[in-house]
């Protein structure tokens, strides 16, 4: 399973990466998509929603189960991935085409405090 070194991770299986000084991209990990199985629907909060770290920013429906999505750090949603109308993209490409939201991060240094790829691998026992 693939866990890019450039990303930071949460224990709830989201990843985040800073793309500019204060804009981050967020999605779920390869492990998460694999555990969920076939994803059929991604329901995300709207652009403009301001949330705290660990707040729910959406849900992901797989055939067998549903899972909430938890925001890695505080911020405001500035874009949602419209391509996820085809929810299977999350299974096929969790780190690229299957990203979920872009976030204006309240405090960019918060991202540094999250798990590295090595930490995350250790947590899920991979």
Partner 1 sequence: MKRTPFYHLHQANGAKLIGFGGYEMPVQYEGILAEHRAVRESVGVFDVSHMGEVEIKGENAEAFLQKVTTNDVAQLVNGKAQYSAMLYENDAHHPDGGTVDDLIVSRISPTHYFLVINASNIEKDLQWLYRNKIDGVEIINRSDELSLLAVQGKNAEAVLQALTSVNLAEIRYYHFAHGKLADVEMMISRTGYTGEAGFELCFPNEYAEQVWQAIFDAGKPFNIKPIGLGARDTLRLEMGYALYGHELDEQTNPMEAGLGWIVKLSKGEFNGKAACLKAKENPQKKLIGFVLQGKAIARQGFEITTKEGQVIGRVCSGTLSPSLEKAIGTGFVQSNDAVVGGTCFVKIRGELCEAEIVKPPFLIKQTHSIKAM
Interface residues with partner 1 (CB under 8 A) are 37-38, 40-41, 43, 59, 61, 63-64, 66, 87, 91
Q: Spell out a b/e string for 72-92, using b for 16 or more CB atoms within 10 Å of the CB, else e.
A: bbbbebbebbeebeebebbbe
Cβ proximity to partner 1, 37 vs 113, nearer residue: 37
The Cα 71–Cα 51 span in angstroms is 8
Cβ proximity to partner 1, 59 vs 116, nearer residue: 59
Cβ proximity to partner 1, 65 vs 107, nearer residue: 65
User: Smallest distance from the beta carbon of 39 to partner 1, in angstroms?
Assistant: 10
User: Smallest distance from the beta carbon of 89 to partner 1, in angstroms?
Assistant: 14
User: Smallest distance from the beta carbon of 37 to partner 1, in angstroms?
Assistant: 6
User: Smallest distance from the beta carbon of 29 to partner 1, in angstroms?
Assistant: 17
Beta carbons of 29 and 9 less than 8 angstroms apart: yes
The four Cα atoms 21, 52, 80, 42 give a dihedral, to 10 degrees, of 140
């Amino acid at each position: 399973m693939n866990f890019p070194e450039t990303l930071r991770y949460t224990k709830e299986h989201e990843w985040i990466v800073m793309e500019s000084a204060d804009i981050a991209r967020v999605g779920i990990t390869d492990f998460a998509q694999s555990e969920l199985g076939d994803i059929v629907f991604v329901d995300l909060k709207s652009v403009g929603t301001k949330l705290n770290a660990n707040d729910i920013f959406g849900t992901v429906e797989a055939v067998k189960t549903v899972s909430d999505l938890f925001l890695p750090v505080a911020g405001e949603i500035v874009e949602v991935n419209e391509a996820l109308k085809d929810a299977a993209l999350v299974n096929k490409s969790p780190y690229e085409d299957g990203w979920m939201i872009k976030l204006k991060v309240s405090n960019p240094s918060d991202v540094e405090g999250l798990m590295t790829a090595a930490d995350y691998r250790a947590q899920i026992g991979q």
